[in-house]
Amino acid sequence: MFKKTLSLLIIALIVFSGYLAFRTMTAPDKQSKINALPAPALSDSALLHFQEAIRYKTISFGDTSRWDSIPFIQFRQFLEKTYPLVHLQLSREIVGGYSLVYEWKGKNPSLKPFILMAHQDVVPIEEGTEKMWTVDPFAGTIKDDYIWGRGTTDDKINLISIMESAEKLLRSGYQPERTVYFIFGHDEELSGQQGAVQIAALFQTRNIKADIIIDEGGFVTREKVPGMSQPIALIATAEKGYMTLELSVSKSGGHSSMPEAETALDILTKAIVRLRSTPFEARFVEATKDFISYLGPSMKFPNNMAMANPDIFQSLIVKNYEKSGSGNAMIRTTAVPTILHSGVKDNVIPTLATATVNFRLLPGDSGVFIIRKVKEIINDPRVIIKVKNDRIIEGSPTASADGIGFKRVDSIIKSSYDSVLSTPFLLIGATDSRYFYNISDNIIKFSPMEDPIGFHGIDERVSLKSFRHAMWFFEQFLLSAK
């Protein structure tokens, strides 16, 4: 009897292994095969323009009283001076005081337009970190084949590359078949309320529907996808949502010499511990499923087998993702406390304790659903939960990997970048394009640069090679606007 069971088990195991191997070997290769055209050499003038763009302190301060309009006006004048043909032949509109919308009329008005987006503003240099920079963050220094400075990677590389390509094509007499818009917001880092939000509303009143929108987002990486030897273009087809909750507890305090069993601060910290130790459910959203099916076949054993059979290896894949903060963020809604407030004096028990907790919502996890979950997890009615600024930004819809947006960006990155693989994926951050889902079904978040460094941090920089390729990417994209 035992022998019989054992041999049945062995047979089942062989059949199962065969099934896994079959699925691994027959997983379709979704990589389009396109040979790259060599990118033109980097011109001195383009480089000088990029360097100058970094020198304008177009800063979005969290404390809006520090906001200064002068650099934005100067930056606009710099664009006018530097790209004369763009300003002569495209029409330009200023929205919300400082955001810029350019319209490059196409020959064929029956075709739906393309939209290219980038933002003018940059994040400030965090106080106390100025001395940690190797160079002056607003000098536009070139060093070790990189352009250094605040805004190089986020997002002036895209803005300048778009303008350089357009000016170059205008010089050659080119006019696109379809209309192309450039949208350059001025407050993306402050959630785009004056810029992108207003522009999206304007486009809606004009009933503009675009076939493709490209905004900042993923990039080409040699480092971020473990186990892959080729560079990979991470082309985001969806982005996570954003919500901030304020948790507060009030309870009579008193003198710290006679503490009650539980204080407001105790109740709040217990709630935070519960929240942090109860992760939300892990799930593969559509963009992540696409990621698995696009890259799986190019991975080595056993990763390719796991990726070809995600239903069977889900828990293994999830465990792998959970190892890093960025991986974990791809598979679940995350919550993290970012600000705590309580207490005024060392011998007074505070009567009020508050925590600000930031959530990044997986598409499909609505804000309302997550708030209900948070209440369940904390399970203490003394903790009052409020949505900060009454604003919930839900996770975005997903652009289909079979749609014109992904397909076009995929083919152009491959024709402008040597031996790159590409894949859809879920963007963790938030972009201005999240306000444009009524304008287009094909919103792609992708910056054509390779492994930017110091994003929002110290020594932000991008390689000269990236800049050369970004211009090449946008030139080919504009040429494809037919």
Residue numbers of the site for Zn ion (CB under 5 A)?
Answer: 154-155, 216
Nearer Cβ to Zn ion (62/173): 62
Cα distances (Å, whole numbers) of residue 22 to 10, 18, 294: 18, 6, 17
C-beta neighbour count of 266 within 10 angstroms: 16
Residue 154 or 290 having the CB closest to Zn ion: 154
Minimum separation from the CB atom of position 93 to Zn ion (A): 22
Query: Which residue's CB is nearer to Zn ion, number 176 or number 185?
Result: 185
52 given a catalytic annotation? no
Least distance (Å) from Zn ion to the CB of residue 143?
23
Nearer to Zn ion, 159 or 233 (CB): 159
First to last CA, the chain: 71
Instruction: Dihedral sign for Cα 406, 411, 415, 419, please.
Output: positive
Tell me whether residue 380 or residue 459 sits nearer to Zn ion (CB atom): 459
CB of 432 to Zn ion, least distance (A): 8
Q: How far is CA 278 from the centre of its chain?
A: 26
Q: How far is the CB of 151 from Zn ion (least distance, A)?
A: 9
Q: How far is the CB of 118 from Zn ion (least distance, A)?
A: 8
Is the Cβ of residue 290 or residue 460 nearer to Zn ion in the bound state? 460
Q: How far is the CB of 155 from Zn ion (least distance, A)?
A: 4
Burial 190-206 (b: 16+ CB within 10 A, else e): bbbebbbbbbbeebeee
Q: Which of 121, 167, 187, 189 is catalytic?
A: 121
Select 213 or 306, whichever has its Cβ closest to Zn ion. Answer: 213
**Shortest Cβ 482–Zn ion spacing (Å):** 29
- Residue 155 or 290: the one with the smaller Cβ distance to Zn ion is 155
Question: Looking at 154, 164, 188, 432, which residue is catalytic?
Answer: 188
Shortest distance (Å) from residue 282 CB to Zn ion: 27
29: annotated active-site residue: no
| Residues catalogued as catalytic | 121, 188
